[in-house]
Amino acid sequence: MSIAVVTDSTSDLPPDIAAQHGISVVPLNVHIEDETYLDGVTISADEMYRRLPDRSVIPTTSAPSVGSFVEIYEKLGETHDEIISIHLSAKLSLTHGSAVNAVAEMGSSGPKIEVVNTEQASMALGWTAVQVAEAIAAGMSLEGSVELANSASERAVFIGMVDTMKYLVRGGRIGKAQGFVGSLLKIRPILTLRDGEAHPLERARSRKKGIARIKALVEEYAPLEKLAILYTTDEIDAQDIANEMASFAPDGEPVVAQLGPVVGNYAGPGMLGLGLIRSENS
């Protein structure tokens, strides 16, 4: 039985990694004024970040339609018997709900489909999809894949140090991090996802100290099965972190991944962070 793996664009999976593992990525929508773009398809991350500081134009985002999921499920059903569809936190988006409704709409026709709510985002979600794809390639069943997706997402961690909370606030994704609003300008909030929504982790008193804390968190979460260094606009800083933390990546090469337009819309320019999966033995 062949099993297809689907995720969404908030996974921030670099295209080469998605292609390498045969993972299909369903794009979310980005709305800017009267135009609608497909996340990472018809609008790039860099273009999004160029537009973000313009307060006269506040981008919004929305989940893929039920029809978008039906379309990709039907297409994959031509070459696969089963599908596992792995998505970001249902508390952050209606994407998971769209996937569930698509399965209901298709009924018993087509492939068997399981939809997983990871309660994660960005590469914490992306790595979960990769681990499942690797296991399927090694012969894992659909049932086993769902169990692995749940286990991996529970061990997955997203960390984000943002320059400002304003993008989370205006986008309505503040979650439990409300206490960081109004912090001094030089304070760098460090956030994480817990129970599917944003939570405050700690404050860094400068960007330099925040970067040092990100590095320390890699060590604290080790041993790791997967490691990505995340950024929105500061690739050089992200690469420097990756170089220094290389020994903590299983293969000695952490992935450096840019947050796409949707996740980046809420993180804002200047964000640095981590997407990782802890070892089962950690």
Summary mean pLDDT of the chain:
91
Give the sheet arrangement for strand 272-278, strand by strand.
197-204, 188-194, 156-161, 272-278, 224-231, 255-258
* Mean pLDDT on 158-186: 63
Tell me which of 154, 181, 203 is where a domain ends. 154
Q: Which pLDDT score is estimated for 1?
A: 64
From CA 253, how far away is CA 180, in angstroms rounded? 33
Query: What's the domain count of the chain?
Result: 2
Domain range for 115: 3-154
Per-residue tokens: 150? 């749940």
DSSP secondary structure of 189-251: EEEEEETTEEEEEEEESSHHHHHHHHHHHHHHH-SEEEEEEEESS-HHHHHHHHHHTGGGSTT
User: Are residue 121 and residue 195 in the same domain, yes or no?
Assistant: no
Question: What's this model's pTM, rounded to 2 decimal places?
Answer: 0.92
127, pLDDT greater than 70: yes
Rg, the chain, Cα only:
18
- Per-residue model confidence (pLDDT) at position 164: 79
CA 165, CA 177: separation in Å to the nearest integer? 9
99 and 227 within one domain: no
Beta strands 35-38; 29-32: pairing state = antiparallel
pLDDT digits over 222-275, tens only?
A: 999 999 999 999 999 999 999 999 999 999 999 999 999 999 988 889 999 999
Residues 176 and 139 in one domain: no
At residue 166 the predicted structure's pLDDT band, cuts being 50, 70 and 90, is: confident
Please tell me the least confidently modeled range out of 94-103, 108-117, 119-128: 108-117
Phi, psi of 159, deg, nearest 5: -125, 135
Contact between residue 262 and residue 60 where contact means Cβ atoms under 8 Å apart: no
Mean pLDDT score, 111-125:
98
Neighbours of 2 (CB within 10 A): 11
Q: Which of 154, 170, 190 is where one domain is finished?
A: 154
H or E element that contains 156: strand 156-161
Rounded CA separation 143/130 (Å): 16
Whether residue 201 contacts residue 192, with contact meaning beta carbons closer than 8 Å, is answered with yes
- The rounded percent of the chain whose pLDDT value lies above 90 is 78
Asked which of 128, 154, 180 is the last residue of a domain, the reply is 154
Same domain, 112 and 230: no
Nearest in space to 162 (alpha carbons), one of 218, 109, 200: 200
Beta bridge partners of 224: 278
State the pLDDT confidence band at 163, using cuts at 50, 70 and 90.
confident
pLDDT in tens, 46-98: 999 988 876 667 888 999 999 999 999 999 999 999 999 999 999 999 999 99
Query: Any idea what the CATH number is for the domain that residue 242 is in?
Result: 3.30.1180.10
pLDDT bracket for residue 211 (50, 70, 90)? very high
Q: What is the pLDDT of residue 54?
A: 67
Q: Per-residue pLDDT tens for 16-46? A: 999 999 999 999 999 998 999 999 999 999 9
